[in-house]
Amino acid sequence: MSESPAERCGYVAIVGRPNVGKSTLLNHMLGQKLAITSRKPQTTRHNMLGIKTEGAVQAIYVDTPGLHKQGETALNRYMNRTAAAALKDVDVVVFVVDRARWTDEDQMVLERVRFVSGPLIVAVNKTDRLDDKAELLPHLEWLAQQLPNAEIVPISAQHGRNLDLLERLVAERLPEGEHFFPEDQITDRSSRFLAAELVREKIMRQLGAEVPYQVTVEIEEFKQEGHVLHIHALILVERDGQKKIIIGDKGERLKRIGQEARKDMEVLFDSKVMLNLWVKVKGGWSDDERALHSLGYD
């Protein structure tokens, strides 16, 4: 009679510059949408755990904000601190890079992961967009020279390519030990937090360059009544002009944000959702440490 495999459990930080595909990677590995995504950099603001339990292995992924250079608000400093802190207390680090583009911010993350003492895996993302795979080889060789102790895996987070290999490499490097979470739990974040993030995602996706970075969302009511989940969300902006942009002509944009967020919420919470949105001006919140703390950035 063969012995069942030893239980393994540990924390896995997913790090990289903004907009390289970290949250998309997490969602595909979990098999459901948990982390919000958009084409804009710095969509992710908080560390969030995505917990995947398969048989004897529980991998606890830490989705981090992108480490970035520009921006000196209290919010930017919070995001960089949050991402850097994740490197200290994990069992495995997955460093996500682009297949072709290399920026100063990639270099900044590379300098940090060089000093990681545990196992390091470099996930080279978006390789499905290369017509000629031979173009990838010089980049892989250069990465291998920079990080000689790392395992390097070409992937496509968007299309799920090679993720089974990436997950196997992660599992093999996790320490033996009992699972920290029940096997049906997929995150450490509350439903209120996830609801706020879904509203913020729709704003990020619909608005121009500047406004989304000065927007945050607070859930004021989250209440199940029978078969309906009632959610009241407050969208905070810094200026009156931003409030007008979010509301849109005759309230059309706010209505569209609400419709799209509600659809995702109904899937995530497996319930009919009544979503009410308000927009309020709170000047300077993104550069005020106390305001950030009160809004959950701590």
Q: Round to the nearest angstrom and report the end-to-end CA distance of the chain.
A: 50
Enter the DSSP assignment of 113.
Answer: H
Q: Is 93 annotated as a binding residue?
A: no
- Between CA 66 and CA 84 the distance in angstroms is 10
Q: How far, rounded to the nearest angstrom, does the alpha carbon of residue 53 sit from its chain's CA centroid?
A: 19
- Between CA 57 and CA 10 the distance in angstroms is 9
- Between CA 217 and CA 278 the distance in angstroms is 10
- Amino acid identity at 298: D
Q: Is 110 annotated as a binding residue?
A: no
Q: Is 37 annotated as a binding residue?
A: no
Structure tokens at 139: 């980049």
Q: Is 69 annotated as a binding residue?
A: no
Q: Is 148 annotated as a binding residue?
A: no
Q: Is 284 annotated as a binding residue?
A: no
- Between CA 178 and CA 215 the distance in angstroms is 40
Q: Is 64 annotated as a binding residue?
A: yes
Q: Is 212 annotated as a binding residue?
A: no
Q: Is 63 annotated as a binding residue?
A: yes
Q: Is 41 annotated as a binding residue?
A: no
Q: Is 18 annotated as a binding residue?
A: yes
Q: Is 208 annotated as a binding residue?
A: no
- Between strands 216-225 and 228-237, the pairing is antiparallel
Q: Is 248 annotated as a binding residue?
A: no
- Between CA 208 and CA 218 the distance in angstroms is 21
- Between strands 228-237 and 272-281, the pairing is parallel
Q: If residue 58 lies in a helix (H) or strand (E), which one and from where to where?
A: strand 57-63
CB neighbours of residue 258 within 10 Å: 17
Beta carbons of 108 and 67 less than 8 angstroms apart? yes
Q: Is 23 annotated as a binding residue?
A: yes
Q: Is 187 annotated as a binding residue?
A: no
Q: Is 282 annotated as a binding residue?
A: no
Structure tokens at 70: 């520009």
Q: How far, rounded to the nearest angstrom, does the alpha carbon of residue 47 sit from its chain's CA centroid?
A: 7
Q: Is 71 annotated as a binding residue?
A: no
Instruction: Give the residue ranges of the annotated binding site.
Output: 16-23, 63-67, 125-128
Instruction: Give the residue ranges of the annotated binding site for GTP.
Output: 16-23, 63-67, 125-128
